[in-house]
Amino acid sequence: MKILLIVHYQFNPDSGAAGVTWKLGQYYQQLGHQVRYYSLDNLPNWLPQLAKIILFPWFVALHIRKLANCEDLDVVDSSTGDTWVWSKIGKYISKNHPLIVARDHGLDHIEHREFLKDVKLGKRPMSWKYPLYRGSIRLWEEATSLRHADLVLLLNRFTLEYAVNNLGVEKQKTQIIINGIPEDFLNLPYEPLDIDRNPTIGIAQVGTYIPRKGIQYSVPALNKILARYPQVRVTFLGTQCLECPDVERVYADFNPNLRDRVTVIPRYPHHQLPTLLQGHQIKLFPSTCEAFGMALVEAMACGLAPIVSATPGPMEIVTHEQNGIIIPSRSSDAIETALDKLITDYVYLESLRKNAYNSAQKYSWMDIARDTLNLYQKAVV
């Protein structure tokens, strides 16, 4: 098949939705399919970033039309919100019509709902700009793309039900398809906890240092844990983002006498994550909104016991007190209690670590790529 993968971000293979798109395409190619990518990087350099984001669906429609008219396209797999122009206009002026797939990387409607909760609680400010596009027009674009897609791929049951019940997506067009982890993250050597030889406990929080990742709830708990347990250290990986360009912002959130046990790694090549997680036993994942949680599964594959907030994606990965701990969302006290339990009960910690490691072995990108291709083929028929 000739497949076009679209994502409305800069195309960085080491991060988020762009990384998922890149990896999926690589496995498609290994299975013998022709893959192209289209992202914000393909738009003219002279366009401002905001203009690129707003105009992206129009450029997408033109690009699909160009490839479709050359009979050089079978499937368009795009992040949600990217194909509404094609659905409304483009497909009527093109002689060929590829399969249009809308892929969930985190539904904006659900993120919008959780954002409003944080605003109401006084945990996040709302910019005057937010309702002008992201909190209004963008939501319409996403819903329109989902309704008009031939196939809708969603990451968890909650999102699927939300799309059907709240956005008018036809249920027969929807499928749950999870994300995976690279093959070289599978079956890594497992490092048992050896407190007698090395009493240090490492806690890792992987992801951008932004409110949606729950930093306003995790940092107060981590300050208390570090003060209580001198053998504990904390590492933040992948903190760098537009909202937080300076690692000093992270350090400033911790008490000065604790900062020597806090490490911040703003960026890293994705393949280095298992090495960077060596010596860590606990994965903290307190996001207020998360459709899946690839960093969560990757950390589990590296032998870390996860503490996750009760959000739809992580709750389909973690089973409470079997391969991790599920805590109420938006609760610093719950984070502190869960960390306290794992730090003081080594037998319990080791049990969760082993079960998390074993659970992660099923998330193979190659298997997921094959399953997705089968869905394409069924939808084409």
What is the mean predicted confidence (pLDDT) over 216-231?
97
12 pLDDT tier (thresholds 50, 70, 90): confident
| 8 A C-beta contact, residue 16 and residue 105 | yes
69 pLDDT tier (thresholds 50, 70, 90): confident
How many CA atoms lie less than 13 Å away from 147 in the CB half-sphere? Answer: 13
Tell me what the pLDDT averaged over the chain comes to: 93
Give the per-residue pLDDT at 299: 97
The helix/strand/coil state of 14 is: coil
Q: How far apart are CA 85 and CA 168, in angstroms?
A: 18
pLDDT > 90 in the chain, percent: 82
Give the per-residue pLDDT at 244: 53
Locate the domains of the chain by residue range: 2-180+364-380, 183-360
| Position 90 pLDDT exceeds 90 | no
| Position 204 pLDDT exceeds 90 | yes
Give Cα 107 to chain centroid, integer Å: 11
381 pLDDT tier (thresholds 50, 70, 90): low
Q: pLDDT tens digits, residue range 343-370? A: 999 999 999 999 999 999 999 999 999 9
Q: How far apart are CA 294 and CA 313, in angstroms?
A: 10
Q: Quote the crossing angle between the two packed helices 137-148 and 108-120, to the nearest 10°.
A: 150
Q: How far apart are CA 181 and CA 186, in angstroms?
A: 8
Give the per-residue pLDDT at 245: 57
Give the per-residue pLDDT at 241: 54
Pick 33 or 244 by higher pLDDT.
33
Q: How far apart are CA 14 and CA 19, in angstroms?
A: 5
What is the mean predicted confidence (pLDDT) over 13-25?
89
User: Which CATH number applies to 183-360?
Assistant: 3.40.50.2000
Q: pLDDT tens digits, residue range 234-277? A: 999 998 754 555 788 899 999 999 999 999 999 899 999 999 99
Q: What are phi and psi of 119, to 5 degrees?
A: -60, -45
What are the CA-CA distances from residue 259 to residues 47, 178, 268, 280 (Å)? 41, 37, 21, 17
Residue 16 CB: number of other CB atoms within 10 A?
A: 17
Q: Residue for token digits 């009493």?
A: 199
Residues 6+ apart with CB under 8 A from 150: 99, 100, 101, 173, 379
Single-letter residue type at 190: Y
The helix/strand/coil state of 280 is: coil
| 8 A C-beta contact, residue 42 and residue 74 | no
Tell the burial category of 248 from Cβ atoms under 10 Å away from its Cβ (0-12, 13-18, 19+). Answer: exposed
Q: What are phi and psi of 251, to 5 degrees?
A: -60, -35
Q: pLDDT tens digits, residue range 146-199? A: 999 999 999 999 999 999 999 999 999 999 999 999 889 999 999 998 887 878
Q: Residue for token digits 């730090």?
A: 343
Q: How far apart are CA 3 and CA 33, in angstroms?
A: 7
Q: pLDDT tens digits, residue range 276-307? A: 999 999 999 999 999 999 999 999 999 999 99
What is the mean predicted confidence (pLDDT) over 199-208?
94
How many CA atoms lie less than 13 Å away from 381 in the CB half-sphere? Answer: 5
What are the CA-CA distances from residue 165 to residues 20, 168, 170 (Å)? 27, 6, 9
Give the per-residue pLDDT at 16: 83
| 8 A C-beta contact, residue 147 and residue 174 | no
The C-alpha angle 375, 14, 153, rounded to 5 degrees, equals 20
Residue 378: name the closest of 213, 156, 215, 175 by CA.
175
Beta-ladder partners of 2: 34
Is there a common fold for 2-180+364-380 and 183-360?
yes
The helix/strand/coil state of 130 is: helix
pLDDT > 70 in the chain, percent: 98
User: Which CATH number applies to 2-180+364-380?
Assistant: 3.40.50.2000
